[in-house]
Amino acid sequence: MTWLFCAGMIRSGSTLQYQLASAIVERAAMGTRIPYAPEADFVHVREQYSLTQGMKVFKVHIYTAAFADECKVGGAKVVYSYRDIRDVAVSAMRKFGMAFDDLVEAKWLDQAIADYWHWTRCPSVCVSRYEDFVDDVAGEAEKINKFLEMPLTLHDVCHLAKEFGIERQRTRISKLNELHSSSIMPKEIVFDPVELIHHNHIYQGEVGGWRKYLLDSEQYLLTERFSVWLEEHGYDTRI
């Protein structure tokens, strides 16, 4: 079989999609998850797992030539999530401890929008909107299961989805926080190498939080900068 890329925007629920897709594929005995590696290392990862049977689930964000090749020639599938780019900004600022100006200057948001267009035009892609699935994990799990044509029943998928509901996720993160608190390097990110979550992975996950946390000038800047994309995807651009 082939590769499955869980390739959403940063801070848009792509880790949840990776968790669900990996669990579905593994429980169906149709493949396995691949440990985290930077996008630039995928060429080496692909070679390393060239003899691995079944579907290989890999989490990414940035679209590169190697991923394009796998999607267009190698038959790879893509599960993709997106979110109001202004909420992406708030979430990224919190998680990475970045000031607004630094985030904008780093061009992470511009990268996210550019990558959106590449990923969503792949030949075999399942696209989900964060605002639609954040409170419906079971629905997202069933959507991924159908997209991948896996043999799990609806009952199996719903049971699996409970493992990745918000309370279970907070329990996982709480344990990582305990490790982080006891670390001799307090700024170091504590990371779960299986589920790919960090000690500070979830804050509130709210929808529309940008209106509350961004300054008026910041709201205006992002809304103007990404107005076309926001309007095309049904987001309110009124300030």
DSSP string covering 37-56: --GGGHHHHHHHTTT--SEE
Query: 3-232: which CATH architecture?
Result: 3-Layer(aba) Sandwich (3.40)
142-174 pLDDT tens trace: 999 999 999 999 999 988 888 886 666 666 666
Residue 157, phi then psi, degrees to nearest 5: -70, -40
**Region 127-136 average pLDDT:** 95
Higher pLDDT, 190 or 145: 145
Q: Which DSSP state fits 138?
A: H
- What's the count of helices (H) and strands (E) in the chain, helices before strands? 13, 5
**Can you give the pLDDT at residue 201?**
43
**Can you give the pLDDT at residue 199?**
42
Cβ atoms of 227 and 237 within 8 Å: the answer is yes
Q: How confident is the model at residue 204 (pLDDT cuts 50, 70, 90)?
A: low
Asked if the model's pLDDT at residue 106 lies above 80, the reply is yes
Token pair, residue 143, equals 């959507």
Asked if the model's pLDDT at residue 200 lies above 70, the reply is no
40-71 pLDDT tens trace: 999 999 999 999 999 999 999 999 999 999 99
- Give the span between the Cα atoms of 106 and 28, in whole angstroms: 40
Token pair, residue 185, equals 């390097």
Cβ atoms of 166 and 39 within 8 Å: the answer is no
User: pTM, whole model, 2 decimals?
Assistant: 0.87
